[in-house]
């Protein structure tokens, strides 16, 4: 099987830009909209400036596809930040090791206390998040924590430093079923500039983490690019290619795409390529048209108004009531957050809102039953 890394070499940025520019006409957008399964050149047309004038028909088609594949169900999850220790210096992140922020690593008991608050609120899906510091939070930490949390949650996801296949296998054995790992940008030169030192400099090791996790038995794979670092059309195109490649090569797994939009954090750079709301909507519905079977995830980085507008169009999964500081739930810690949450509604308030919009909130995922070992 060709690795995605090799496939990426066939798609250098100049080729992607040529395709985006070459597809920038009304006819290309209409052809893409009429295609039952859009190909790469159709996807480029849907991301192009010409498609920005055709958002309404794109949105209608995206909504219809989402209802056809996912019904009216919306799933909720909460992130649990267990540590903000980090050995990397990502230029866009307030947790980077050069930044003077209050560092905290929760003990297992503290993390369980935080998770219990979330379980009591009704969450059944939890995402364990940490900065990249294997000494502060080794794999053993996550296996022990996962074992402690298994009875409280139907699904335990991780968003931590990339691992070798054996590490992912240990986490799967402990009960982890889901991985979120953003490539940040698929442009290798920009990636090098954004990650001046630390293990995260290794573009390929990060890129292939998702494949190693899939081989280790992780059932749900989440990818994305950090929106605001590069031209959103170019990185959005690569994310779509990556997701489709994963869906075709790891067809037993479920694949989802997230849309983390870079917000300014203290000690981090101003987004060099800001993405406005209209572009954000275009990106999300273009991904839906290109990836009808992928989950699309929207976090509380986005404000309530935009989230409410996007729910009927393409979203399948949402976070709610999020705190992005270790100890933010039970311990009410008020340290520097990784990013400022824009939508502060609780899980109960989100349930009520999505019901008003005609959707069914679910906290239990029955798919987990089919993926259990």
Residues near ligand SF4 (CB under 6 A) are: 86, 88, 90, 93, 95-96, 131-132, 200
CB of 125 to ligand SF4, least distance (A): 21
Query: Contact 43/19 with Cβ under 8 angstroms?
Result: no
- Give the integer Cα–Cα distance in Å for 17 and 12: 9
The residue among 148, 34, 73 whose CA lies nearest residue 355 is 73
H or E segment to which residue 147 belongs: helix 139-149
Give the CA distances from residue 231 to residues 8, 50, 55, 159, in Å, rounded to whole numbers and listed in that order: 17, 16, 19, 24
CB of 349 to ligand SF4, least distance (A): 29
Beta-ladder partners of 295: 256
CB of 41 to ligand SF4, least distance (A): 33
Of 93 and 207, the one with the shorter C-beta distance to ligand SF4 is: 93
**How many beta carbons lie within 10 A of that of residue 120, not counting itself?**
11
CB of 263 to ligand SF4, least distance (A): 13
- Give the integer Cα–Cα distance in Å for 129 and 139: 13
Strand spans (E) along 247-315: 254-258, 295-298
* Cβ-count burial 167-197 (b if 16+ within 10 Å, e if not): bbbbbbebbbbbbbbbbbbbbeebbeebbee
Query: Contact 55/110 with Cβ under 8 angstroms?
Result: no
Of 222 and 361, the one with the shorter C-beta distance to ligand SF4 is: 222
Give the CA distances from residue 31 to residues 35, 141, 282, 360, in Å, rounded to whole numbers and listed in that order: 6, 51, 17, 34
CB of 297 to ligand SF4, least distance (A): 17
CB of 62 to ligand SF4, least distance (A): 30
CB of 371 to ligand SF4, least distance (A): 27
Of 131 and 337, the one with the shorter C-beta distance to ligand SF4 is: 131
């Amino acid at each position: 099987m060709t690795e995605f890394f090799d496939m990426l070499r066939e798609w250098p940025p100049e080729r992607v830009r040529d395709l985006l520019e070459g597809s920038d006409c009304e006819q290309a957008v209409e052809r893409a909209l009429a295609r039952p399964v859009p190909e790469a050149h159709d996807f480029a047309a849907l991301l192009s400036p010409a498609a920005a004038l055709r958002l309404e028909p794109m949105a209608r088609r995206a909504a219809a596809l989402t209802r056809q594949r996912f019904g009216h169900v919306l799933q909720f999850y909460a992130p649990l930040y267990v540590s903000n220790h980090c050995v990397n210096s990502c230029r866009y992140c307030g947790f980077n090791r050069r930044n003077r922020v209050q560092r905290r690593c929760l003990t297992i008991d503290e993390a369980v206390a935080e998770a219990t608050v979330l379980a009591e609120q009704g969450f059944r899906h939890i995402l364990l998040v940490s900065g990249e510091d294997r000494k502060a939070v080794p794999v053993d930490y996550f296996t022990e924590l996962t074992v402690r949390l298994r009875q409280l949650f139907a699904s335990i996801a991780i968003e931590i430093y990339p691992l070798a296949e054996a590490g992912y296998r240990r986490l799967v054995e402990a009960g982890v079923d889901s991985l979120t790992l953003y490539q940040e940008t698929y442009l290798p030169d920009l990636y090098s500039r954004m990650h001046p030192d630390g293990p995260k400099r290794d573009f390929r090791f990060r890129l292939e983490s998702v494949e190693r996790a899939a081989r280790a038995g992780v059932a749900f794979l989440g990818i994305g690019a950090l929106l605001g670092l590069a031209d959103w059309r170019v990185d959005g195109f690569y994310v779509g290619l990556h997701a489709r490649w994963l869906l075709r090569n790891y067809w037993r797994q479920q694949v989802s795409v997230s849309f983390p939009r870079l917000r300014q954090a203290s000690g981090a750079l101003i987004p060099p390529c800001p993405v406005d709301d209209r572009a954000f909507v275009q990106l999300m519905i273009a991904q839906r048209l290109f990836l009808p079977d992928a989950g699309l995830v929207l976090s509380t980085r986005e404000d309530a108004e935009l989230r409410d507008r996007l729910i009927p169009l393409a979203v399948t999964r949402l976070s709610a009531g999020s705190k992005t500081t270790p100890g933010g739930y039970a311990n009410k810690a008020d340290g520097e957050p990784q990013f400022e949450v824009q939508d502060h509604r609780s899980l109960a308030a989100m349930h009520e809102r999505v019901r008003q919009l005609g959707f069914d909130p679910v906290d239990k995922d029955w798919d987990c039953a089919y993926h259990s070992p």
